[in-house]
């Protein structure tokens, strides 16, 4: 870590959140995050590469061992990206295998690459015997919208085209991710349906569902017409305050915003013309998260159009709680319900 860049900030959990917050998380936060700089306070390259900033303190499990892990290169428009492949023990695999495609979070901007969700991909591969692909898409602001989305969609097409190489059953492919990864998973689920190769399941953890929630000026404020109260009540919640979320939106969308962005369903899947025929979904939200209400609104709209949806609100935790699965019960529970939902879908 570059010591000259550490300003020893102070970001305490405010009283309005403390009363209902998981005390184990509070203790963990005060130890590792209380004096950490937030994403908008750190040079972006440093935040991406230094573990002190990359949400990688000892809060996440390492995940079980799996038989085979390798990185492959996938050609995309204007370059190539890496995709990490996790394979189970082929000796115990029976015929064709199910597949999980992971699209990581990080505000489309700082990511975490192929490491941040490695424990989760290991877990699914070991528990379910599936092949897991973790897509390391290119990041804003160097590659703003729509590049992260088109990279993910291109990688998904590559996986479909090479399914036989990994003994994948193309009728048992699921997609999922947290935060920005939830957005990318929701949109690619719609694209897959429209292409005629629908996924069997979508896992959306604390997903970004409506990109018009922050003000189009790029200033740190909620849009006047934002219908989600959690953007206001959780604007100062730990780990993803409004200041950070606006910074992510500004990098991903640019300032000024693209023309017509408010109604672009590829930015805001809740505004898609139709959600009928989409795969079953598990949507998990966090009580102290600005994104909570839009995730739950998306669950309601999916349900109203005939989609089988389970929506779970994790009490007492902020937005990135799945990253703390070795520390807090909510993180462990996220893993448990995700594994069980995917197990059911892959049957």
Instruction: Please identify every residue annotated as catalytic.
Output: 179, 289, 319
Nearest to 184 by CA among 108, 245, 252: 108
Nearest to 318 by CA among 233, 237, 229: 237
As a whole number of angstroms, the distance between CA 204 and CA 284 comes to 6
Nearest to 6 by CA among 38, 31, 30, 54: 38
Alpha helices in 211-328, H assignment, sequence order: 230-233, 242-253, 292-304
Asked if residues 314 and 285 have their Cβ atoms less than 8 Å apart, the reply is yes
For residue 293, give both structure tokens.
């209400």
Phi-psi region of 145 (alpha: psi -120 to 50; beta: other; left: phi over 0): beta
Phi-psi region of 316 (alpha: psi -120 to 50; beta: other; left: phi over 0): left
CA distances from 91 to 87, 95, 134, 163, 170 (A): 11, 10, 23, 18, 21
What secondary structure letter does DSSP report for 222? B
CA distances from 292 to 56, 268, 325 (A): 23, 15, 19
As a whole number of angstroms, the distance between CA 45 and CA 116 comes to 16
């Amino acid at each position: 870590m570059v010591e000259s860049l550490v300003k020893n900030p102070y970001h305490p959990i405010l009283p309005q959140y403390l009363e209902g917050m998981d005390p184990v998380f509070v203790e963990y936060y005060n130890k590792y995050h209380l004096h950490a700089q937030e994403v908008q306070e750190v040079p972006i390259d440093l935040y991406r590469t230094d573990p002190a900033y990359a949400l990688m303190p000892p809060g996440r499990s390492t995940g079980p061992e799996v038989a085979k892990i390798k990185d492959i290169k996938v050609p995309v428009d204007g370059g190539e990206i890496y995709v990490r492949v996790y394979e189970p023990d082929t000796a115990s695999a029976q015929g064709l295998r199910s597949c999980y495609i992971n699209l990581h979070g990080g505000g489309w901007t700082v990511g975490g690459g192929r490491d941040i969700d490695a424990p989760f991909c290991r877990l699914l591969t070991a528990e379910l015997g599936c092949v897991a692909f973790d897509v390391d898409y290119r990041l804003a602001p160097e590659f703003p919208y729509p590049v992260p989305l088109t990279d993910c969609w291109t990688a998904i097409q590559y996986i479909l085209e090479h399914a036989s190489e990994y003994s994948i059953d193309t009728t048992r492919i699921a997609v999922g991710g947290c935060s920005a990864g939830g957005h990318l998973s929701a949109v690619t689920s719609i694209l897959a349906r429209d292409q005629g190769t629908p996924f069997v399941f979508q896992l959306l953890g604390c997903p970004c569902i409506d990109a018009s929630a922050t003000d189009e000026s790029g200033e740190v404020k909620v849009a006047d017409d934002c219908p989600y109260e959690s953007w206001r009540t959780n604007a100062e919640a730990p780990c993803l305050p409004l200041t950070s979320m606006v910074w992510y939106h500004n990098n991903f969308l640019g300032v000024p915003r693209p023309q017509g962005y408010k109604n672009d369903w590829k930015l805001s899947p809740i505004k898609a013309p139709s959600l009928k025929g989409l795969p079953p979904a598990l949507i998990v939200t966090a009580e102290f998260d600005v994104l909570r209400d839009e995730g739950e609104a998306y669950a309601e709209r999916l349900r109203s159009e005939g989609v089988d949806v389970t929506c779970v609100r994790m009490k007492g935790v902020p937005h990135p709680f799945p990253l703390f699965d070795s520390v807090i019960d909510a993180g462990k529970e996220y893993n448990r319900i995700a594994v069980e939902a995917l197990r059911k879908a892959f049957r």
